[in-house]
Copies of this chain bind each other. A is one copy, B any other.
């Protein structure tokens, strides 16, 4: 595995890969890698000739009150994990190179960020879309891999890529969970063991909501109340940021469940904000 820090060098390597006819799979990350990230790398490895992973804790996707400063950066461990996973290039740009020189260009989506996490994290998805567009232009991947845990993020990137005619194919990969159901996240390392155990109730609550739907409940308010209640009752010192039943394509809140529905939750456990979601499909005869 070759580590590349210089943007121009990465760009030239990517161009050579294209000219040589090799297909590149790309996994953008903020590091602090876990099995969720590695499942993206594995998918990229199996579907492409070359695999490039970036690690970049992107300052412009963090709000002023968020955890940019303390976000974990275990770069030596991450490097070993990626080497073992058969990655070809690790791209490690600096924030100065990415946003120096009076940076002023941003990518804005008009609708998809106006829901779920986007409502609570002002500017977050602008920062995400912008950095991913930059990385796509540097790496020029054939395919890029995103985790389903960040459902809204994956949807926004897919929409951005389509709208701006990026030729990169966007792939989403299922959530990897602890045995107790807790969705893997780099932010789980902020939790105590007790909190990690309790945090699994977010997933359990979502599954309860799914069960209600499959049993015939159609009132989204009832389903959301059930999920919220379960979370509040089972996680000490938790604060619900949101629980939503939303259209899986537009993310618009649903009142009456008719079709497929995204059940999504964001919950503070202490000061740690965790998100999770499940996609519920209704079998219609």
- Contact pick for A104, options B112, B137, B167, CB 8 Å: B112
Which B residues touch A108, using CB under 8 A? 105-108
- Contact pick for A137, options B106, B110, B165, CB 8 Å: B165
Instruction: Give the complex CA separation of A162 and B21 in angstroms.
Output: 26
Binary flags per residue of A259-280, CB closer than 8 Å to B gives 1, else 0: 0000000000000000000000
Q: Is the CB of B103 within 8 A of A165?
A: no
How distant is A101 from chain B, measured CB to nearest CB, in Å?
7
Instruction: Give the complex CA separation of A246 and B109 in angstroms.
Output: 32
Instruction: Give the complex CA separation of A129 and B109 in angstroms.
Output: 14
Which B residues touch A164, using CB under 8 A? 105, 107, 130, 133-134, 137
Cβ of A138 within 8 Å of any chain B Cβ, yes or no, is: yes
* The stretch of A11-19, A48-56, A169-177, A221-229 that contacts the partner chain: A11-19
4 new A-B contacts, CB < 8 A, other than A19-B19, A105-B129, are A18-B18, A104-B112, A108-B108, A138-B165
Name the 5 nearest CB pairs between A and B, nearest first.
A105-B163, A104-B110, A137-B165, A134-B165, A105-B160
Provide 27 A-B residue pairs closer than 8 Å at the C-beta atoms, listed in order of the A residue. A7-B165, A15-B18, A19-B19, A19-B21, A102-B111, A104-B109, A104-B111, A104-B112, A104-B163, A105-B109, A105-B110, A105-B129, A105-B160, A105-B163, A106-B107, A106-B108, A106-B109, A106-B110, A107-B108, A107-B164, A108-B108, A133-B164, A134-B163, A134-B164, A135-B165, A137-B166, A138-B165
